[in-house]
Amino acid sequence: MTSNERSAQGGDPVCWVNRVCPECGRFADDETVDSDDPRCAECGAELSV
Ligand SMILES: [Zn+2]
C-alpha cells in the first residue's frame, strides 16, 4: 500500500482510507460518508465508515 502519494489530502491517512471504495477505488465525499447508509456513488458498494 502506498500511503505517501496523497499526504496533502487532509492529514492522517487513517481519516480518509475508509472513504475509498473497496470495489472500484472511488473516493467518497463528506455527504456520502455522513449518511446512514454510506455507499459508493460509482458502484453502490457499502463503505465501512
Ligand atoms: Zn465503488
Q: Each residue of 1-45: pLDDT tens digit?
A: 665 555 555 566 666 777 899 999 999 999 998 999 999 999 999
Taking the centre of ligand 1 as the mean of its atom positions, its distance from the CA of residue 48, in whole angstroms, is 12
- Claim: this prediction has a pTM higher than 0.85: no
CA of 5 to the centre of ligand 1 (A): 20
Return the pLDDT at 21: 93
CA of 24 to the centre of ligand 1 (A): 4
| Euclidean distance between CA atoms 27 and 40, whole angstroms | 8
**Cα–Cα distance for residue pair 45/11, rounded to 1 Å:** 25
27 C-beta neighbours (distance < 10 Å), count: 14
Specify the residue for cell string 471504495: 21
